[in-house]
Structure 1
Amino acid sequence: MDFTKITVSEIMSRGVITVGMEASFEEILRQLTENKVHAVVVTAPGGEFMGVISHSDIIEALAKKGAEIFNLVAEDLMCPKPYTIEGTATLKEAAAKMVNYGVHRLLVLSSHGGKLVPVGVLSAIDLVRAESQ
């Protein structure tokens, strides 16, 4: 398989679980648990990408804030600059980003009406599956 010719959008997992900027800590936990995901994407009204909240972000906030975490909302907990990629990038570019950043997952964004919106997730497992096909 030629990773220089296949795009991220061809193999990414489509769709993401989102919460609004004002989502409560309880709502965030509910979305993570019910959807069996490791992260939720935070969006502004209209769907524009604002950040991501992962299990790691929650653990870090709990260590820093203690019980105060129960009063926080998504905007307080999110990582505003997670590692992202556009769906038009090649798998080679995606693999290089993952290696350079030391991550195994990239959020896939697409431009719609001048706004960046989340459209999927590309994981290292997706790359392995693509290579084995």
Structure 2
Amino acid sequence: MVGLTVADVMTRDVVTVTPTMPFKQVAQVLAQHGISAVPVVEPGGRPMGVISEADLLMKVRAQTDRREPGTFALARTRRRFRKQEATTAADVMTPEVVTVGPEVSLPHASKRLLTGKLRRLFVVDDDGALVGVLARRDVMRVFTRSDDDLAAAVRHDVLRYSLWAAPEDATVTVSGGEVTLEGELDRRSEVEWAGRLAALVPGVVTVHNHLTCRYDDIAAARL
């Protein structure tokens, strides 16, 4: 299969807090570990909420704005007041947790981060238990892959595994993350797929496809 999955790049050693942890200890956990958010995990290992720095800042705001919401106040106003009065992790957490499975492809997970304007996705197994976290910085690490690693991935995942090309049919060189494909494949459709699939390999910056073909099956199909 071409490309990496969430499991390949996620952070497995996740810092967590319990729902009964006191507010001050939650703040200390964020500060000590240099993180901007922490999941709240129930005894069975399932994430039940997340606490961000923004959630904790509601307590600071409460020092100047401590008005209890009225009977007809909006739900978000009531949630904000609850956070202001929080004494435990369960009180201050945001209950919506965006999760992803470890087998999900990295491009798909990256799209979710971007379209949802999220900083992180929490990774859960089939039972819903927390097994990791995928942050934006984890995704960006793919661009630190060495040129040799990228070349090996293109040769194996694209040319050998996906297109069944013989080793002597095509050569792959990579410089600065830019992939150059040279050689001759059987069909024009294979040439086009080689370029497309190589571009999907995580860490590839661009693809220069100089492959040629022995038979133009695309043109023949139009006749």
Cα distance, 1:71 vs. partner?
Answer: 5.0
C-alpha distance in structure 2 between counterparts of 1:89 and 1:41, whole Å: 20
Aligned to 2:104: 89
Amino acid at match of 1:98: L
Aligned to 1:51: 49
Cα distance, 1:10 vs. partner?
Answer: 0.5
Distance verdict in 2 for CA 1:23–1:69, change over 3 Å: farther
Asked whether the equivalents of residues 44 and 129 of structure 2 are also in contact (C-alpha less than 8 Å), the reply is: no
Distance verdict in 2 for CA 1:34–1:47, change over 3 Å: same
Amino acid at match of 2:4: I
**How many residues are aligned here?**
127
C-alpha distance in structure 2 between counterparts of 1:109 and 1:61, whole Å: 30
Aligned to 2:91: 76
Of Structure 1 and Structure 2, the greater strand share is in: 1
Asked whether the equivalents of residues 59 and 85 of structure 2 are also in contact (C-alpha less than 8 Å), the reply is: no
Aligned to 2:27: 29
Say which SS state the counterpart of residue 125 (structure 2) adopts. Answer: strand
C-alpha distance in structure 2 between counterparts of 1:26 and 1:70, whole Å: 13
Cα distance, 1:60 vs. partner?
Answer: 3.3
Equivalent residue for 1:125, pick from 93, 115, 137? 137
CA RMSD between the two structures: 2.3
Q: Which has the higher contact order (CA 8 A, sep 6+)?
A: 1
Q: Choose 1 or 2 for highest CA Rg.
A: 2
Aligned to 1:41: 39
Cα distance, 1:110 vs. partner?
Answer: 1.7
Percentage of matched positions with identical amino acids: 29
Amino acid at match of 1:24: P
Structure 1-normalised TM-score?
0.82
Aligned to 2:169: none
C-alpha distance in structure 2 between counterparts of 1:22 and 1:34, whole Å: 19
Say which SS state the counterpart of residue 93 (structure 1) adopts. Answer: helix
